[in-house]
Amino acid sequence: MHKTRNDIAANARKSVSALLNARLADLIDLQLALKHAHWNVKGPNFIALHEMFDAMTDSYDAHVDDMAERITALGGTAMGSVQAVEKATSLAPFPADVFDGMKLVEALAERTAALAKSVRKGIDETAEMGDADAADILTALSRQLDKNLWFLEAHLQKG
Ligand SMILES: [Fe+2]
């Protein structure tokens, strides 16, 4: 941890940084999965899904940056390399042999829901650690994940 004049206790800053880095890895992993789906989706809903997957990727950009910069503001190191993400992600590996639109939507819904769950847990944990700002960043991400999960699940529901 780097030295800082930030008044949050060093052990709390360290714990919050570790938690944010874990969720940062998950979110970057999810963005890469969305791009993979954007490029490779096939089927009658191609253009709608191609565009939706890209919009979802973009919807996370500001959240990735906010999380990473909160880590550095706390004196931590934002672990954003693909090697670090690969090591730290808690999401299930994204399948490379799925092309069907609805199957991709399902795979993305599963991962979006898994991340939404751990981010929701992280809101309470960072608040308990004494970092309301990290909790706020995770709360904003939580809203975005829940919205995107709704978009994905609406494709899977039959009427
Ligand atoms: Fe594109």
Q: pLDDT tens across 65-117, in order?
A: 999 999 999 999 999 999 999 999 999 999 999 999 999 999 999 999 999 99
Average pLDDT over every residue of 128-145: 98
The position carrying tokens 């938690």 is 19
* Ligand 1 centre distance from Cα of residue 85 (Å): 22
Average pLDDT of the chain? 97
Q: Is the pLDDT of residue 159 over 90?
A: no
Which amino acid is located at 153 in the chain?
E
Residues 6 or more apart whose CB falls under 8 angstroms from that of 98 comprise 104, 107
* Ligand 1 centre distance from Cα of residue 29 (Å): 17
Q: Domain 10-156 - what CATH class?
A: mainly alpha
For the chain, the domains span 10-156
Q: At 10, is the pLDDT very low, low, confident or very high (cuts 50, 70, 90)?
A: very high
**How far apart (Å, rounded) are the C-alpha atoms in residues 49 and 104?**
9
Token duo for residue 95: 């399948």
* Ligand 1 centre distance from Cα of residue 31 (Å): 13
Pick the closest to residue 48 from 95, 106, 56, 36 (CA basis). Answer: 56
The position carrying tokens 């090591």 is 87
* Ligand 1 centre distance from Cα of residue 114 (Å): 25
**How far apart (Å, rounded) are the C-alpha atoms in residues 67 and 133?**
10
Average pLDDT over every residue of 134-144: 98
Q: Is the pLDDT of residue 35 over 90?
A: yes
* Ligand 1 centre distance from Cα of residue 35 (Å): 8
Pick the closest to residue 23 from 138, 108, 140 (CA basis). Answer: 138
pLDDT of amino acid 41: 98
pLDDT of amino acid 25: 98
Q: Is the pLDDT of residue 158 over 90?
A: no
Q: pLDDT tens across 106-133, in order?
A: 999 999 999 999 999 999 999 999 999 9
